[in-house]
């Protein structure tokens, strides 16, 4: 596979590039969606950027679209909610299905499944109060990462290095109105592994002058370093890519996605999370890895769109719903 399409532009029909929504990642999603829609249009595909609101659901039920390219990040679009609706009306879409979307969005469920499969992930405790976070710090030892269980883009996440930082970390994570997790901090290099239509893309190594790879480092900092090739020995890169693929498959993820890992100073790899709808902005990692494969951005989005062709539904339900 070289990033080219197995189908003609006409085969895809009318494509809704679904972005925006109401999650904390709305701004990033809209940026991803605009870039994706423009790239599809450049390849002659009938694509329309659509914000996720009531009008989208009405139009989807009316049969205005033949498939959906999901570029929604966070709750409401990446957590299985939209996927469930699209399954009910038999409208094909890109990426993972309902179950894998739920699991990928929930860091706790992901870690439980990885643990049961014997895959390495840092030790953690769920917390529901500042006092329980203090207890977790005593059990796991500092430093810790404190994060909401179901949020992306490092929103609500803090690195806690001293006991005096626990209260602020709790408030930051708890403000997202989600279950909160304290996770053992891994001191080492951060990597991300992208998969597109069952093909592993080159790993990207990430460096940042920030304490960790936070929201500002991801989307706004010009000092964040991205290295692709990642600088690993070939055997070590293959091992990390294989681990990422296992993590992806254990969750039942499909189509495309990204697995984030840490490589400890002792060489031990650790799984951090799976993103079933990664970012597609100019700072995003999947386009960066695709470029290292020689794919243009347009090649990448068309390759991802092909994952929707694996869902061939009968559209009779939508026709029946509207007479």
Entry field: residues in the chain? 323
User: Is 273 labeled as catalytic in the residue annotation?
Assistant: yes
Q: Which of 219, 298, 299, 318 is catalytic?
A: 219
Residues 6+ apart with CB under 8 A from 235: none
Identify the active-site residue in 78, 183, 214, 273: 273
Catalytic residue among 279, 299, 311, 318, which? Answer: 279
Which one from 12, 21, 25, 307 is the annotated catalytic residue?
Answer: 25
Selecting among 153, 158, 200, 308, the annotated active-site residue is: 153
Identify whether 87 is a catalytic site residue: no
CA distance 17 to 71: 7
Which class for 86: exposed (0-12), middle (13-18), buried (19 or more C-beta within 10 A)?
Answer: buried
Q: Is 219 a catalytic residue?
A: yes
- Among 67, 205, 258, 318, the active-site one is 258
Active-site residue flag, 22? no
Cβ-based neighbours of 16, under 8 Å, separated by 6 or more = 47, 48, 50, 56, 59, 60, 64, 65, 67, 68, 69
> Known catalytic residue: 25?
yes
Which of 295, 294, 283 is CA-nearest to residue 206?
283
- Residues 160 and 143: beta-carbon distance below 8 Å: yes
Q: Out of 200, 275, 284, 308, which one is annotated catalytic? A: 275
Q: Is the dihedral of CA 8, 11, 13, 19 positive or negative?
A: negative
Concerning whether 151 is annotated as a catalytic residue, the answer is no
Catalytic residue numbers read 25, 153, 219, 258, 260, 273, 275, 279
């Amino acid at each position: 596979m070289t990033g080219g399409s197995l189908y003609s532009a006409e085969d895809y029909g009318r494509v809704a590039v679904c972005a925006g929504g109401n999650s904390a990642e709305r701004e990033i999603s809209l940026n991803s969606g605009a870039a994706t829609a423009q790239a599809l249009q450049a390849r002659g595909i009938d694509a329309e950027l659509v914000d996720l609101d009531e009008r989208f659901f009405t139009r989807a039920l009316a049969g205005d679209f033949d498939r959906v390219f999901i570029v929604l990040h966070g709750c409401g679009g990446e957590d299985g909610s939209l996927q469930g609706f699209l399954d009910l009306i038999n409208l094909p879409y890109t990426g993972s299905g309902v179950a894998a979307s739920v699991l990928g969005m929930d860091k706790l469920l992901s870690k439980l499944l990885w643990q049961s499969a014997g895959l390495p992930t840092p030790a953690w405790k769920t917390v529901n109060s500042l006092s329980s976070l203090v207890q977790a710090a005593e059990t796991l030892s500092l430093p810790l990462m404190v994060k909401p269980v179901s949020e992306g883009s490092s929103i609500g996440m803090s690195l806690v290095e001293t006991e005096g930082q626990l209260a602020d970390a709790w408030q930051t994570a708890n403000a997202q109105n989600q279950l909160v997790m304290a996770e053992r901090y891994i001191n080492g290099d951060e990597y991300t592994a992208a998969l597109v239509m069952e093909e592993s893309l080159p790993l990207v190594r990430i460096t940042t002058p920030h304490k960790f790879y936070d929201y500002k480092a991801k989307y706004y900092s010009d000092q964040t370093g991205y290295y692709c090739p990642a600088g690993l020995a070939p055997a070590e890169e293959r091992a990390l890519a294989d681990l990422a693929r296992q993590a992806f498959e254990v969750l039942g993820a499909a189509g495309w996605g990204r697995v984030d890992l840490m490589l400890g100073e002792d060489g031990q790899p650790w799984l951090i999370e799976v993103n079933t709808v990664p970012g597609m902005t100019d700072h995003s990692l999947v386009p960066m890895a695709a470029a290292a494969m020689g794919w243009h951005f347009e090649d990448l989005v068309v390759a991802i769109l092909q994952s929707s062709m694996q869902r061939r539904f009968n559209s009779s339900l939508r026709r029946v719903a509207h007479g």
